[in-house]
């Protein structure tokens, strides 16, 4: 049997294995398992983000507390304002200062309100996420098992195909098979394609002059564009 016929046989059997792999890949069992896995992975990053945000808010709280203490300190000047006024101090200076303190307190109050809102939002987000994470973590082992069980049911069929592939492969050139497997790993399929009107039947690329000669001699070439094996019947 010619090398091309062997390769075509191999590819035909391999397409059964590919179909089986796709069936497993697209199964509900895998989808649910992977979705939960991805969620847990992202949730862990998100929890880190929320922790960072909470630290940021704590830093802001410290700054606002310091500002409040600064204002309280200045307010102490007013404890003896009557004495100061009696001793002839400039009342307009204290009036201006009182206005500035009022403004500072107003802006501090607004900042505190913003901080409270941000802290509440962060906490709500954290609690909701934590609830979902706990639920997903509970579910995760069952989903993993369901996917594994499903894969096991398909394993006997996959093993049988793999055995047949091994038998066919025994007659195929090792280097050619290695290249075939590399292409398969890159998810190129079918790998071996017929040449029609001097072109790759898959992507339409025309063969070079050298390749035209090679295929005329009954050998396989690689498409310059899609890198499939090309053969002439």
CB of 193 to Zn ion, least distance (A): 7
Please enumerate in sequence order all residues whose Cβ is within 8 A of that of 224, keeping only pairs 6 or more positions apart, or say none.
Answer: 205, 208, 211
Smallest distance, Zn ion to C-beta of residue 228, A: 5
Nearer Cβ to Zn ion, position 143 or 191? Answer: 191
Query: Measured over all CA atoms, what is the biggest interatomic distance in the chain, rounded to whole angstroms?
Result: 119
Q: How far apart are CB 224 and Zn ion at their closest, in Å?
A: 8
Shortest Å distance, C-beta 202 to Zn ion? 5
What does the CA dihedral 82, 86, 89, 90 come to, rounded to 10 degrees?
Answer: 80
168 or 195: whose CB is closer to Zn ion?
Answer: 195
Q: Could you list the residues that contact Zn ion (CB under 5 A)?
A: 200, 202-203, 205, 223, 225-226
Is the CB of 182 or the CB of 203 nearer to Zn ion? 203
Please report, to the nearest 10 degrees, the dihedral formed by the alpha carbons of residues 10, 15, 20, 25 taken in order. Answer: 120
Under DSSP, the state recorded for 191 is: -
Token pair 């939002």: residue: 121
Nearer to Zn ion, 14 or 211 (CB): 211
């Amino acid at each position: 049997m010619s090398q091309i016929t062997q390769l075509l046989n191999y590819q035909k059997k391999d397409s059964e294995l590919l179909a089986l792999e796709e069936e497993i890949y697209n199964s509900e069992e895998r989808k649910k398992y992977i979705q939960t896995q991805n969620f847990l992975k992202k949730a862990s990053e998100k929890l880190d983000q929320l922790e960072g945000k909470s630290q940021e808010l704590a830093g802001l709280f410290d700054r606002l507390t310091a500002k409040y203490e600064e204002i309280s300190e200045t307010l102490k000047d007013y404890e003896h304002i009557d004495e100061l006024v009696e001793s002839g101090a400039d009342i307009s200076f204290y009036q201006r200062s009182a206005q500035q303190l009022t403004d500072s307190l107003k802006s501090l109050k607004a900042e505190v309100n913003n901080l409270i809102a941000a802290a509440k939002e962060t906490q709500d987000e954290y609690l909701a996420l934590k609830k979902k994470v706990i639920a997903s973590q509970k579910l995760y082992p069952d989903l993993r098992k369901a996917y594994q069980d499903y894969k096991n049911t398909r394993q006997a069929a996959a093993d049988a195909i793999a055995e047949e592939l091994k038998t066919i492969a025994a007659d195929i050139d090792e280097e050619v098979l290695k290249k075939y497997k590399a292409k398969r790993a890159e998810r190129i399929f079918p790998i071996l394609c017929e040449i029609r009107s001097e072109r790759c039947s898959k992507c339409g690329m025309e063969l070079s002059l050298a390749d035209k000669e090679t295929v005329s001699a009954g050998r396989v070439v690689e498409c310059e564009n899609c890198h499939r094996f090309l053969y002439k019947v």
